[in-house]
């Protein structure tokens, strides 16, 4: 199996974790990599919706784990690029025990299903989207992930929770944890009398190394709903993807308007 297995976690719900996971999957595929995107959010899955393939879901990661289908039948290809989705639906939560958590055996089966799919499709990257906070799929994903990306919003509560999520991942054995801020309010952070956190304050507050920043971009939401193309978020996500590929990329490369404000953002 590929050594590039990334777990996506969030500090709190509503910070755009799944949006970031999908955006990075698309950016990596655009770089010519074969990408497997697995949905481990068993409480509120949405990747099939974001990919526009909700009407094509016949099997899920749980079906594959229980050998009810083949890898070919479980995977969906939402675009012409080498991007494949292994979906989950909310009914998968029925496989959890009475406490709402997966057993260790179930965790192992789910992890093995992802490994099987990744090996068969010869994936260069595996991106696993988990639920908000400490979700039912987090431990299953942590068992096979080599690193993790925590997506934090630009709010004090989200920043605090991101640090706790990082500590939780450490206890699960995932030590390579990096931070993506999404969406970042550039205008608010640059205001003379701003009360919004600067990027330096967010990094200090979470204690997690920064992987990238995605500025607020309403066009990204519209793009994922099939209306138009993403604006400033698109180059930001491609910057992060290139960093995952080992390239040295300036934080706001391709975003000249934001780069001019860089000194203010790190006040």
CATH assignment of the domain containing 75: 3.40.50.300
Alpha-helix runs per DSSP H in the chain: 17-30, 47-51, 61-65, 71-74, 104-121, 138-142, 156-171, 186-190, 199-206, 218-224, 233-244, 256-259, 262-265
Q: Is 98 a residue whose pLDDT tops 50? A: no
Chain mean pLDDT for the chain: 85
| Average pLDDT of span 121-147 | 89
91 falls in which pLDDT band (50, 70, 90)?
low
Question: Regarding beta strands 210-215 and 177-184, do their DSSP bridges make them parallel or antiparallel, or are they unpaired?
Answer: parallel
Which pLDDT does position 104 carry in this prediction? Answer: 82
118 vs 157, more confident? 118
The reported pLDDT for the residue numbered 222 is 62
The pLDDT value given to residue 230: 60
Task: Name which residue leads in pLDDT, 264 or 45.
Answer: 45
Domain count along the chain? 1
Strand order across the 125-132 sheet: 83-86, 35-40, 125-132, 5-10, 147-152, 177-184, 210-215
Range of the domain at 24: 5-265
């Amino acid at each position: 199996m590929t050594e590039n297995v990334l777990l996506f976690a969030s500090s709190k719900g509503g910070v755009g974790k799944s949006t970031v996971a999908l955006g990075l999957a698309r950016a990596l595929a655009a770089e010519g990599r074969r990408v497997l995107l697995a949905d481990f959010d068993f409480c509120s899955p949405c990747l099939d919706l974001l990919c526009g393939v909700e009407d094509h879901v016949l099997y899920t990661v749980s079906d594959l784990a229980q050998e009810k289908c083949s890898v070919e039948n479980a995977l969906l290809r939402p675009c012409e690029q080498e991007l494949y989705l292994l979906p989950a639906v909310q009914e998968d939560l029925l496989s959890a025990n009475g406490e709402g958590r997966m057993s260790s055996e179930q965790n192992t089966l789910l992890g093995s299903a992802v490994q099987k799919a990744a090996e068969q499709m010869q994936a260069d990257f595996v991106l696993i989207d988990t639920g908000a906070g400490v979700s039912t799929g987090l431990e299953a994903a942590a068992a096979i992930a080599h690193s993790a990306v925590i997506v934090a919003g630009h709010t004090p509560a989200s920043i605090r929770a991101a640090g706790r999520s990082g500590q939780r991942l450490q206890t699960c054995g995932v030590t390579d944890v990096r931070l993506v801020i999404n969406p970042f309010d550039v205008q608010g952070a640059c205001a003379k009398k701003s009360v919004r956190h600067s990027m330096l304050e967010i990094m200090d507050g979470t204690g997690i190394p920064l992987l990238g920043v995605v500025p607020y971009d309403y066009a990204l939401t519209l793009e994922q709903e099939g209306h138009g193309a993403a604006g400033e978020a698109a180059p930001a996500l491609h910057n992060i993807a290139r960093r995952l590929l080992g390239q040295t990329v300036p934080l706001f490369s391709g975003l000249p308007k934001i780069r001019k404000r860089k000194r203010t953002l790190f006040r």
